[in-house]
Structures are given as C-alpha cells and as structure tokens.
C-alpha cells in the first residue's frame, strides 16, 4: 500500500492507496471517504454483474488492489521501493560539498561490501552443506547399522523418527519466528528487485530461519533443495550489510550510512542473489547469469562487474574450505554436498539419431514442466487455506508430508529386486557405511538395491548416482519409473510446506531420472552414455519449469565440467522452454502472481494502449502548499498511508498555481521532528533546514526503523504554525501529461524504477496536477475494476 507498516488486522483505514485523483479535496472528510469506498465499489460490482455495461465505463475512483501480499507463508502490507534520485536543495548542497576523499571512500566501501557479501555467503553455503552432510549422514548410518542387524522395523522407526524431529523443528522455527522464510525465497527476491518491499522479506530473523530451517529441512529427507533458499540467504546477507546491520539486534555500523537508499541496496541485493547461486552450485558464472536473467529487473555494466567479483570470491572461499575438508576433518562430509558431478571423463560423440533423442527429451521436459507448474499452482492454493489457520496447522502439515516421505523412502526400496554387484564396478559394491552408488539395504552380501541407492542417500548423492557414467545397467527400468513417479509427486506436495525449500533439486532429480529412462530405452540406437542423458533430462525439466535458458545452461556445465555437451544442453533447453511456454508461465512468475505481488513486467499489456494516464489515476489527491500549516500536514499523515504528496505554490507565493514538486512522507516526518516552524506563512531561503539537517538525516532507514507520525507530539500552538517545504521538495519529479498512452507510462515507470509518477493536465487554466500514478495503478485488477468492459486480449 506504500503506507507505513501495519499488520493486516490493524490497518486503519483498510488498504489505503497512495494515489489520488481529484485536486479540490477537503482533508477533514477523509475518514468518511475511506469508509464509503468499499461499500460503494461492492454495490457497483453487484450492479455490473446483473446489468448492462457500456464500453470503457469508469466504475471506481479508489484503488484498493494489490495492497497486501504473501511473503513466504506470511501476509504482509506491501510497500514500493524508490529508485529515483531525489533532487532537493538539501541533496544538491550535499553533492556540491562532497570532496574527492568522500567519493573515494564511497567507492572503496562499495567494493568492500561486495567482498564481504561474497565471503559471508560462501561461508554460509559451506556451513549449510557441512551440517546437512553430517546430520543426514548420521541418520543414514544409524538406519543402515540397524538394517545390517536385521532389525528392520526398528530401523524404520529410527529413520522416520529422525526425519519427524528434524521436520517439526524446521516447521516450528519457520512458523513462529519468521513465516516469511517459508518456500524458496526466489520469488520474494525477484519481487524486491522489481521494486516491491515488505517488512519481512529480508529481515535478520528471515536470514536466521532460512539458514537453519534449510539445514533441518534438507536433513529431514524432504524432496527439496537448499539452492533456492541460498539465493534468499545471499540477498538477506547483502541487505543486512547494506543497511548497516540491525538496530533491533544491536548490530550496527554508522560508516555504512552511504548505502541507506534503495538504489545502492538494490545493487547489493543483486550481488547477494548471484552469490547465493554461486555458493549453492559452485557455479560463479552461472550465479551472475541467474541474477541477470531471472532475479534483477534493472541491470547495468557496473553491476555485472560487481556481481562477477562477488561470485569469484564465493568460488575461492568454497574451493579453499572443500580442500580443507578433503583431509577428513569435517566428519561425514565425504565428497561434499556442494554438488559437483564431473562428467568430463566421458567424451560425448553424437550423431543424427542422438539429436532426435534430444528433441524427444526436450518435448517431454516441456510437457512435464508445464504440468508440474499447473499442479504446483493448484497445490499451493490448497495449502494456503491450511496455512491461514495458524502455526500449529503449518507444523501439522509439515509432519504429515514428512511421514509420507519417510514411508516412501524406506518402503518403496522393498519393492525393488536385489541385483548382483557388477564385476567391473568402479567403486566398492555394495557400499556400507558411506554414500555411494550401490546400497545394500535388505539384500544379501554381494548384491545391491537400485532403488535404495537413489532413495537412501542425500539428494545430492542421488543426483551424483544418476549422472554417473559407465553404469548403463545399474538401475532397472522399473526402479527408474518408481523413483520418477515418487520424486515428481513428492516434489509437488513438499514445496508449499512451512519450511525453506528450493525447487532446483527436485526438478534436477526428476529430470535426470526420466533422462536416464529415455537413454536406456534408446540405448540400441544412441551412442550417448545414460549419465549424459540424465544431464540432458535435468536440463529439459529445468527449462520446462523455470523457463531459464542461459543461466541454467551455464550452471549445468559448471556442475558437470563438461563443455562438450554445450550444444546439446542449449538445444534441449530451448525446445523444453518453447513447449512449456505454450501452456503457462514459469514457476517463479506463477508464484509471484499467486502471492499477490504487484510485479511490473518489462512490457505493457496490449489493453493499456486503449487507455491514457489520466484514465487510471485514483483519488482522492492530497497536496500541500509550499509553505503549509503544520496541523494540515500532521492530519494528512495521520489519516492516510500516502508516501508522496505534490507540493503546489499558489498566490501570494507565486503568480499562478504552479507545481513545485513532490515531497516524501519520510522527509516530512524528519522535518516535523526538527520543529523549525514559523508563525507566518512566508517563503524562506531554507537556511534553517540547510544548517540544522544533513543529507544523511533524510537517508532511508532499514526495514521497520523509520520515523512514524505516532512518534511525534505537537502542542496546539505548534499545530497552528507554518513550515516551509521547499528545501525538502524534489523539484525534478518525473511527470507525464494526462493524455499519454498508459502503455508508454507503464514502460517509463518500470524502466526508471519509480515509486510515483505525476500526471499533469494538458490544458492551461486547471490545477497544476491531475493525480499520481503508482505501481498499483498499473495492476490489471485495478484497471479492470475501473473499466470492467476492457478485454485483456485487446
């Protein structure tokens, strides 16, 4: 709502829009206007359903759409971020007074922060993997030891009990400490970088739960990954460093005040999201491309250079720490959970038949990916009804899914036949007491259980087994079909629970399985190894669900160290994405829509070409005089959640009414707190403001730390005094004429990263401003609410 943060149950008035449409407005009647808004719009909507509609007949003037959204599993009021550079007298004086030393200090600090983001994200990524490998390793060893003693039911109780405790712990900290940490976090980061803010998206509590909830969730054997949460974790680390720490937790640094603005935070969080991918996959270039292709809405060359530096730091940190662990000092870390599947030993040679097989894989990936997204959308909508009932229900749902997952992981391998160990096995068969390809499970000595080799491992090891080369006959077709069905279904039902969970690993697992199935079926006519088919299957499913091409391609190549597969991976990704796009949107785009986030696409919708900017501005508009009575400002701030107010000079301050600019709510609060009031309504030189305040006094505070009108008290005498708004008014706001095409206004708004776009009249002799466009005014819900007959396809 671009107002101050209030929990949904305490919004008063409910969902206050920040844009306004009529100029002559009596501020005292605001409460009555808001109270009548919902009733009036409902009556109009009822009439619309029954009666005839005229083309493009305007129905509403207030905008109550897209004011709240779901962040993780938490309903939050929505704010917009402001990437516009404010140009007022105070900021201009600060620019003029900055010396070369301060500019140099700013540049050094920015690079230092980027270095710190890389170091911290690399350390957290390593810690996550170390913890998962040891916790899951202990659980699997305990179960394996009991099975060797033929105590099968006790083994199931131990396995299921460990999973249950880990799952309940993850759900409890997520539900009670930070509900916003549930899910992947990539849709939230993507929304933040598009200009959408909510208090909990990048809070320190979200970071804490994201790290430990992800460790517990992955260790609990769920079909989920830690890659998505690592992107959110990297963004949270960047936000924490960029805003100078957390005042609430007594972790602050004043020298980071340079970055207390949305533009610099946006750049740092983009670096953080790239570092998260680099730490999750050990894919530094893939991390940069992920941030460019999927996460960021605004990009520039300087940002490319910084994200590349960040991911390089992550790669160096991980390389050093994994080298340390190879000496056996990290417990059960083994080959390391930082998934690295070296396929470079297999030299692929492919012919025309192989190309046909790859086209088939791409089509299968597109169909399965589109179906996956469709089913996931339905399941998440069903889960939202459960999650709305409160934390106990979230934990109960998580426990239920945990029991189902444990039953599948332990029960399904009993259906698989025991296979004699191959004579030419590359590693020990069967593997006992460690991760590996050939799991003994209930089989006699010298035999292994193929399904257990996939189910009874960490997800990373299961992928490593599927990608392994020279293992054409290791897995029966029935084993692969059962595993694919189980992983596909469990991946769908697991994602919506109140645990930090990524989609990359379930998608790679399912894709690698059906890739191996296709490779086995086409073995007689294809020269490619089934392990390479597994890689191409994973690529096709990733393309079909996430609709990313370049970044997924590079991530998979960095994972497998196999550059010779580049043309085939490119081909399969392009086919699967093309097929899946004909069904629905990418999974993250779907989740953003489902969560109700007012995301602005890079292109305008076709129906916007039939409207002009003046058609969708919604009222009422509140504006201030250049020298305004304190009581009027306080009253406006108390009864609205608006974040931007036009400032208009009228006679005697000017010859005719003229638009001075836009003043922000946060700046008004700082000015009012300083109490530099006057008894007479006269324009000043602004010297008081320039002497009393510095530019940093008006810097944006961290999440939830800013001044609120409730924190300020004024006497009756002060309320009747005046304050000059000229020194803090942005005199260069972006404006459009009211007859500008709404499509062009939308593209301009998105491209410049605006929070407010002022609409001015085309003809003279009218008030100098028609209204203000904000992000919510471009939302389809609002436009179709105003013009019910407007068809989306037009």
Of the segments 129-133, 170-174, 337-341, which one has the largest average pLDDT value?
A: 170-174
Q: Which residue has the higher pLDDT, 442 or 735?
A: 735
Question: What's the pLDDT score for residue 194?
Answer: 92
Residue-wise pLDDT tens digits, 685-703:
767 777 777 666 777 766 5
76 has which bridge partners?
69
Residue-wise pLDDT tens digits, 514-532:
999 998 888 777 778 888 8
Token look-up 């207030």 returns: 62
Q: What is the share, in percent, of the chain residues with pLDDT greater than 90?
A: 42
Average pLDDT over residues 180-207: 90
Helix (H, G, I), strand (E, B) or coil at 605: coil
Contact in structure between 726 and 660 (CB atoms under 8 Å): yes
Q: Model confidence at 234, in pLDDT bands (50, 70, 90)?
A: very high
Q: Which residue has the higher pLDDT, 5 or 551?
A: 551
Average pLDDT over residues 399-406: 95
Task: Report the alpha-carbon distance of residue 288 to residue 74 in Å, rounded.
Answer: 29
Average pLDDT over residues 609-631: 88
Contact in structure between 320 and 336 (CB atoms under 8 Å): no
Q: Model confidence at 329, in pLDDT bands (50, 70, 90)?
A: confident
Average pLDDT over residues 270-276: 96
pLDDT at residue 322 greater than cutoff 60:
yes
Average pLDDT over residues 457-481: 83
**Quick one: DSSP state of residue 791?**
-
Question: What's the pLDDT score for residue 14?
Answer: 35
pLDDT at residue 87 greater than cutoff 50:
yes
Residue 613 phi, psi (nearest 5)? -55, -40
Question: What's the pLDDT score for residue 304?
Answer: 93
Question: What's the pLDDT score for residue 261?
Answer: 80
pLDDT at residue 316 greater than cutoff 60:
yes
Token look-up 């501005």 returns: 617
Question: What's the pLDDT score for residue 162?
Answer: 94
Helix (H, G, I), strand (E, B) or coil at 628: strand
pLDDT at residue 794 greater than cutoff 60:
no
Q: Model confidence at 229, in pLDDT bands (50, 70, 90)?
A: very high
Cα 216 versus chain centre, distance: 21
Question: What's the pLDDT score for residue 703?
Answer: 56
Residue-wise pLDDT tens digits, 572-602:
999 999 999 999 999 999 999 988 889 999 8
Task: Report the alpha-carbon distance of residue 619 to residue 61 in Å, rounded.
Answer: 6
**Residue from 63, 51, 60, 296 nearest 186 by CA:** 296
Average pLDDT over residues 30-44: 34
Q: Which residue has the higher pLDDT, 20 or 167?
A: 167
Q: Model confidence at 45, in pLDDT bands (50, 70, 90)?
A: very low
Is the previous residue joined to 620 through a cis bond, with omega within 30 degrees of 0?
yes
Task: Report the alpha-carbon distance of residue 689 to residue 670 in Å, rounded.
Answer: 11
**Residue from 488, 475, 573, 571 nearest 521 by CA:** 475
Residue-wise pLDDT tens digits, 382-395:
998 888 888 999 99
Task: Report the alpha-carbon distance of residue 542 to residue 550 in Å, rounded.
Answer: 12
Judged by average pLDDT, the poorest of 316-325, 330-339, 739-748 is 330-339
Cβ burial of 51 (10 Å; 0-12, 13-18, 19+) is exposed
250 token code pair:
């007594």
Q: Model confidence at 198, in pLDDT bands (50, 70, 90)?
A: confident
pLDDT at residue 6 greater than cutoff 80:
no
User: Domain spans of the chain?
Assistant: 352-393+414-594, 600-617+738-793, 623-730
pLDDT at residue 445 greater than cutoff 70:
yes
Write out the H or E segment, with its range, that includes residue 591.
Answer: helix 587-594
Question: What's the pLDDT score for residue 268?
Answer: 93
Task: Report the alpha-carbon distance of residue 160 to residue 143 in Å, rounded.
Answer: 10
Task: Report the alpha-carbon distance of residue 491 to residue 511 in Å, rounded.
Answer: 12
In DSSP notation, 535-581 reads: HHHHHHHHHHHH---HHHHHHHHHHHT-GGGHHHHHHHHHHHHHHHH
Task: Report the alpha-carbon distance of residue 125 to residue 227 in Å, rounded.
Answer: 9
For domain 352-393+414-594, the CATH class is mainly alpha
Contact in structure between 228 and 257 (CB atoms under 8 Å): no
pTM as predicted: 0.87
Task: Report the alpha-carbon distance of residue 165 to residue 742 in Å, rounded.
Answer: 54
Can you say whether residue 433 is alpha, beta or left, with left for phi > 0 and alpha for psi between -120 and 50 degrees? left
Helix (H, G, I), strand (E, B) or coil at 773: strand
Task: Report the alpha-carbon distance of residue 310 to residue 304 in Å, rounded.
Answer: 10
CA dihedral 386, 389, 390, 391 (to 10 degrees): -30
Q: Model confidence at 46, in pLDDT bands (50, 70, 90)?
A: very low
**pLDDT, the chain, mean:** 82
pLDDT at residue 762 greater than cutoff 60:
yes
**Residue from 5, 165, 167, 169 nearest 74 by CA:** 5
In DSSP notation, 731-745 reads: SS--EEETTSBHHHH
Average pLDDT over residues 175-187: 91
pLDDT at residue 704 greater than cutoff 80:
no
Contact in structure between 760 and 770 (CB atoms under 8 Å): yes
Residue-wise pLDDT tens digits, 104-126:
888 888 899 999 999 999 999 99
């Amino acid at each position: 709502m671009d107002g101050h943060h209030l929990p949904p149950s305490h919004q008063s008035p409910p969902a206050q829009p920040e844009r306004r449409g009529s100029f002559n407005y009596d501020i005292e009647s605001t409460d009555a206007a808001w109270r009548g808004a919902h009733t009036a719009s409902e009556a109009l909507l009822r009439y619309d359903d029954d009666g005839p509609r005229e083309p493009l007949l305007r129905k509403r003037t207030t905008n109550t759409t897209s004011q709240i959204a779901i962040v993780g599993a938490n309903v939050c009021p929505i704010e917009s971020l402001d990437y516009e550079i404010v140009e007022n007298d105070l900021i201009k004086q600060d620019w003029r007074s900055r010396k070369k030393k301060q500019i140099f200090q700013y540049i050094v600090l920015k690079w230092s922060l980027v270095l710190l983001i890389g170091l911290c994200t690399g350390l957290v990524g390593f810690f996550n993997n170390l913890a998962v490998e040891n916790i899951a390793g202990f659980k699997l060893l305990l179960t394996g030891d009991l099975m060797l003693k033929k105590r099968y039911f006790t083994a199931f109780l131990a396995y299921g009990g460990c999973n249950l405790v880990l799952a309940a712990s993850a759900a409890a900290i997520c539900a009670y400490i930070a509900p916003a940490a549930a899910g992947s976090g990539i849709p939230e980061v993507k929304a933040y970088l598009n200009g959408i803010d909510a208090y909990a998206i990048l809070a320190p509590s979200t970071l804490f739960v994201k790290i430990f909830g992800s460790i517990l969730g992955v260790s609990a054997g769920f079909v989920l990954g830690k890659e998505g949460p690592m992107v959110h974790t990297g963004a949270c680390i960047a936000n924490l460093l960029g805003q100078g720490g957390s005042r609430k937790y007594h972790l602050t640094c004043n020298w980071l005040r340079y970055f207390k603005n949305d533009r610099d935070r946006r750049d740092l969080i983009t670096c953080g999201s790239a570092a998260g991918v680099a730490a999750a996959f050990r894919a530094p270039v893939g991390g940069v491309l992920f941030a460019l292709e999927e996460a960021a809405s605004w990009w520039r060359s300087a940002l490319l250079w910084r994200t590349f530096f960040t991911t390089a730091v992550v790669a160096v940190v991980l390389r050093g720490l994994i080298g340390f662990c190879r000496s056996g000092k990290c417990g059960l870390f083994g080959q390391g959970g930082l998934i690295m599947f070296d396929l470079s030993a297999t030299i692929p040679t492919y012919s025309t038949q192989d190309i046909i097989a790859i086209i088939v894989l791409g089509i299968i990936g597109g169909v399965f990916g589109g179906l996956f997204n469709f089913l996931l959308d339905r399941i998440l909508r069903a889960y939202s009804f459960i999650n709305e009932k409160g934390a106990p229900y979230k934990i109960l749902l998580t426990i239920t899914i945990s029991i189902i997952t444990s039953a599948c992981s332990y029960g399904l391998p009993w259906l698989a036949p025991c296979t004699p160990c191959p004579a030419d096995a590359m590693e020990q068969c069967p593997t006992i007491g460690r991760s590996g390809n050939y799991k003994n499970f209930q089989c006699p000595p010298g035999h292994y259980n193929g399904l257990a080799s996939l189910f009874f491992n960490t997800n990373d090891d299961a992928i490593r087994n599927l990608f392994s080369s020279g293992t054409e006959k290791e897995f029966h077709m029935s084993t692969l079909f059962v595993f694919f069905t189980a992983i596909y279904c469990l991946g769908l039902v697991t994602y919506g629970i109140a645990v930090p969970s990524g989609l990359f690993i379930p998608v790679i697992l399912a894709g690698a399985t059906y890739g191996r199935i296709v490779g086995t079926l086409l073995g007689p006519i294809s020269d490619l190894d089934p392990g390479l088919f597994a890689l191409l299957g994973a690529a096709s499913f990733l393309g079909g669900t996430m609709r990313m091409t370049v970044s997924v391609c590079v991530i998979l190549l960095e994972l497998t160290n196999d550059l010779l597969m580049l043309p085939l991976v490119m081909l399969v990704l392009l086919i699967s994405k093309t097929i899946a796009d004909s069904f629905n949107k990418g999974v993250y785009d779907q989740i953003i829509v489902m969560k109700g986030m007012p995301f602005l696409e890079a292109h305008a919708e076709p129906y916007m070409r039939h409207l002009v900017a003046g058609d969708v501005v919604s009222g009422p508009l509140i504006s201030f005089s250049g020298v305004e009575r304190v009581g009027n400002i306080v009253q406006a701030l108390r009864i609205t959640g608006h974040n931007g107010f036009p400032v208009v000079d009228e006679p005697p301050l000017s010859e005719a009414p003229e638009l001075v600019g836009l003043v922000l709510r946060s700046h008004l609060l700082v000015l009012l707190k300083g109490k530099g009031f006057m008894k007479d309504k006269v324009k000043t030189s602004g010297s008081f403001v320039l002497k009393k305040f510095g530019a940093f006094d008006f810097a944006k505070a961290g999440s939830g730390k800013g001044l609120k009108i409730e924190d300020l008290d004024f006497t009756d005498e002060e309320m009747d005094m005046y304050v000059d708004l000229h020194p803090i008014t942005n005199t260069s706001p972006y404006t459009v004429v009211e007859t500008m095409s709404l499509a062009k206004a939308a593209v301009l708004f998105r491209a410049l990263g605006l929070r407010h776009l002022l609409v001015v009249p085309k003809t003279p002799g009218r008030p100098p401003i028609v209204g203000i466009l904000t992000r919510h005014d471009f939302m389809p819900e609002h436009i179709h609410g105003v013009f019910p007959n407007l068809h989306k396809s037009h």
